[in-house]
Chain A
Amino acid sequence: MKSLLRPAVSLFVLLSVVTGVFYPLLVTGVARLAFPAAASGSLIVREGKPIGSALIGQNFTNPKYFWGRPSATAPQPYNAAASSGSNLGPLNPALAAAVKTRIDALRAADPGNLRPVPIDLVTASASGLDPHISPAAADYQAERVARSRQLDPQTVRQLIAQHSEGPDLGVFGETRVHVLRLNLALDATTR
């Protein structure tokens, strides 16, 4: 065993330094030079101040904004320092209760809207930070947002289309609407 100790310790130290120090530092250095915005969090800056990340969703409850996916992070929703899903099982009564509360909130904010509620708008995302909703979920809210802002619903639908992105390369993932960007565009239009 003794003859194994020196190689074991030396190799462990060597590989630790290479993979645990040099490698991450090299990636950091190159990323900072080549992709500075992406490497530091894809921040959206308005008037010199960061107001969010293009990749991280924010919580919206005001009827004049599009609402995003429900978030199960604690203590507040969309806590980007403690990502988490709800982990509610399909038969857990708490899941159905949470979905019911969300449907009631959507209907209370938009009493005339009796269309089916898109499932992604009432179920919690995996990270609790999902920046997107489905086009159906955006369309469901279009009338409400237009009314709250006294805009033509057609204008709002155009903005939705502008902030939708299709499946990546036409095959990967789903068509989705970027909630924060859409809401920023709405604020710019109304102002």
Chain B
Amino acid sequence: MNDHAWILLGLFMALLLLLARPMGIYISRVMTMGNHGTWVSGVEKAVFRACGIQRDEEMGWLQYARAVLLFNALGLLAVYALQRVQLWLPLNPQAMANVSPDSAFNTAASFVTNTNWQGYGGESTMGYLIQMLGLTVQNFVSAATGIAVAIALIRGFARHSAAGIGNAWADIFRATIWILLPLSLLFALFLSSQGVIQNFATYQEVRTLDVTTYQTPKLDADGQVLKDEQGNPVTEAASTTTQTLAMGPVASQEAIKMLGTNGGGFFNANSAHPFENPTPLVNFLQMLSIFLIPGALCIAFGCIVGDERQGWTVFAAMGLLFVSFAIGAISFEQQGNPLLAKVGETEATSVRTTALTDGNMEGKEARFGIADSALFATITTAASCGAVNSMHDSFTPLGGAVPLVMMQLGEVVFGGVGSGLYGMLIFAVLAVFIAGLMIGRTPEYLGKKIEAHEMKMTSIAILATPLLVLVGTAIAVMTEAGRAGIANPGAHGFSEILYALSSAANNNGSAFAGLSANTPFYNGLLAVAMWFGRFGVIIPVLAMAGSLAAKKRIFVTAGTLPTHGPLFVTLLIGVVLLVGLLNYVPALALGPLVEHLMLWSTR
């Protein structure tokens, strides 16, 4: 950590703290607003009538869960169908082919579950219509689904002796139209002013200054790659003086990609691509926009349950975890790769390959350098965003372990929009339960008794993702099809698979991208992990919201464990680290830890 890194991290946290409260108050007002008076209410009235929605109708948890599932299933169908027929649809100037069934299914599951894992390269696979009408839409509504579920859970705490937890249609509509859309519009316009492209042009060809010579695979008469006797492709020399620049409506998707913690890039290189993330200033605001809504939702939680301290307590636990991991990631990356320092060494001169700015620059952009890249990597995985401005696969072993662990904690360090908060509240319930056992009192949280049913739902929600990650990794490692995708030899290859499953099941979407995951095996396996990683948590969370809402409120007494303040922050962090991390220690030891020891011992 140099001065630049400290200032960057300090500025980031200061701005986040500054913005979280006003944004949180706004979200709480929007999501709990009444139905009378304003023009907003007038718009809603007209829209809901047209859609056949009774906006005052309270849904029980089961009805709410059915609505959420049905709405998301429609999204899955729509995104799948659009990709399968894109060649015959308009706004496809590059004539991108119809996407294969397994890849289309994977992408549909990925964007509907707010994962935005990408097995494909954006600029070489998706036409503009699919990017907009398929993917951008899911960027909005998957984030809105997360907000809706989080608010439903908060209502469970805030209400008492109630049958309903809100109206799913109204919640999804309000989160999309009154929260995500205005913010995205402002941010998209700012991005396009800074160089993020926004157009429907065909790819632009330019004449380059210098000649590029390269090797290209030789094709036979049928267009198949020729192979030599060893089975290696035969290459021939080629040269070009042109460069083709990919175009598209990027800014509009980029804005919601960050604000909705989606993370699916318009281009293959995601936020490392200069057309998605042209300057370090834009990069900083992209980082801030990832945490904006997840941070604000903590405050909204405090507002709705009527005790702002509760919200700040959750925020503090998330913030402390995040800052410690960010410092780790930046420090490890700044250490650099000891093997490269020796490469340039010659006996005669003993020249060493070092730079003024040391550090691991493989897979990083010069404008961002080490600190802005490693901080981005921590943020994007602490939140379930998954956008990347550097290639995590090329990080140092421990630098790359930070994003991996951030995901494995269950995406609760700010986490996804909505999903981060409901995930952390599940941990809070567990913390209260454990504390209750220790002091010998009935556990209660926010005036609600935590009983057997709540603990069952908590256990399901907490165990669903580790089960998917570890079983999925085991399947991939044991099968030929799984091992075939590995790009890097040794322990790092195992890390690639572990990262893919951790990313999918926790709905993050970033990758150790060397893994060749656009195969029927991985498309299928990861789609299953994404779907059950999402709804395997949402359904128990909603079930718990329902049972909490029905409970009577118990009043605070001298014997009540306070769930605000430093003591509870410590307890909460302890539970997250113990429960979240212990599941993964053996797997982490086989991957990043072994690799770290090898890297520094072969020096």
Chain A positions near chain B (C-beta within 8 angstroms): 1, 4-12, 14-16, 18-21, 23-24, 26-28, 30-32, 34-35, 38-43, 49-62, 65, 69, 75-93, 95-96, 99-100, 103, 114-120, 122-137, 167-169, 171-174, 176, 180, 183-184, 187
Contacts and interface: CB of A to CB of B under 8 A. Distances in A.
A167 B353 contact: no
Nearest to A55: B274
Contact of A19 (B137, B352, B487, B513): B137
10 contacts: A11-B51, A19-B139, A24-B198, A28-B252, A52-B209, A60-B210, A91-B490, A96-B339, A116-B354, A124-B362
B281 interface: yes
A12 to B, nearest CB: 5
B369 A174 contact: yes
Contact of B169 (A11, A86, A90): A11
Nearest to B514: A87
Contacts, number: 418
A83 B269 contact: yes
Interface stretch (B100-108, B212-220, B410-418, B470-478): B212-220
A96 B206 contact: no
Contact of A27 (B189, B360, B487, B512): B189
B53 A11 contact: yes
Nearest to A97: B343
B349 interface: yes
Interface in B332-360: 336-337, 339-340, 343-344, 349, 351-360
B343 A9 contact: no
Interface string B35-68: 0000000000001001111000000000100110
A116 B173 contact: no
A103 B67 contact: no
Contacts of B92: none
B132 A20 contact: yes
Contacts of A172: 8, 279-281, 283-284, 372
Interface in B397-415: 397
A119 B336 CA distance: 10
A90 B269 contact: no
A174 B366 contact: yes
Contacts of A99: 340, 343-344, 353
Contacts of A134: 355-357, 366
A11 B71 contact: yes
Contacts of A42: 195, 278
B23 interface: no
B247 interface: yes
B583 to A, nearest CB: 24
Contacts of A10: 50-53
Interface in B205-257: 206-217, 238, 240, 243-247, 249, 251-253, 256
Contacts of B360: 90
Given A134-B355, A172-B283, A41 B247 contact: yes
A128 B137 CA distance: 29
B253 A18 contact: no
A154 to B, nearest CB: 20
Contact of B269 (A12, A89, A128): A128
A132 B364 CA distance: 11
Given A8-B169, A89-B492, A173-B367, 18 more contacts: A9-B74, A18-B176, A27-B185, A27-B188, A31-B192, A52-B243, A58-B243, A75-B215, A80-B243, A83-B268, A89-B393, A90-B360, A91-B339, A95-B394, A114-B351, A119-B336, A123-B361, A130-B365
Given A19-B141, A184-B209, A8 B74 contact: yes
A9 B67 CA distance: 11
B581 to A, nearest CB: 23
Nearest to B135: A20
B362 A136 contact: no
A180 B343 CA distance: 28
Contacts of B507: none
A40 B251 CA distance: 11
B305 interface: no
Nearest to B272: A126
B273 interface: yes
Contact of A32 (B199, B273, B489): B199
Contacts of A84: 121, 268-269
Given A19-B136, A19-B141, A129-B273, A96 B204 contact: no
Contact of B366 (A23, A34, A69, A79): A69
A172 B173 CA distance: 36
Nearest to A84: B268
A147 to B, nearest CB: 18
A1 to B, nearest CB: 6
Given A81-B203, A172-B281, A176-B367, A58 B269 contact: no
Interface string B364-382: 1111110011000000000
Interface in B139-158: 139-141, 144
Nearest to B123: A81
A139 to B, nearest CB: 9
Contacts of B267: 83, 127
Most buried by B among A19, A51, A78: A19
A100 to B, nearest CB: 5
A14 B368 contact: no
B309 to A, nearest CB: 32
Contacts of B217: 75
Contacts of A58: 208-210, 243
Contact of B214 (A77, A81, A176): A77
B70 interface: yes
Interface string B475-508: 0000000000001111110010000000000000
A135 B184 CA distance: 35
B149 to A, nearest CB: 16
Contacts of A127: 267, 269, 272-274, 365
Given A42-B195, A78-B212, A23 B363 contact: no
Contacts of B389: 126
B195 to A, nearest CB: 5
B488 A118 contact: no
B272 A183 contact: no
A136 B357 contact: yes
A18 B52 contact: no
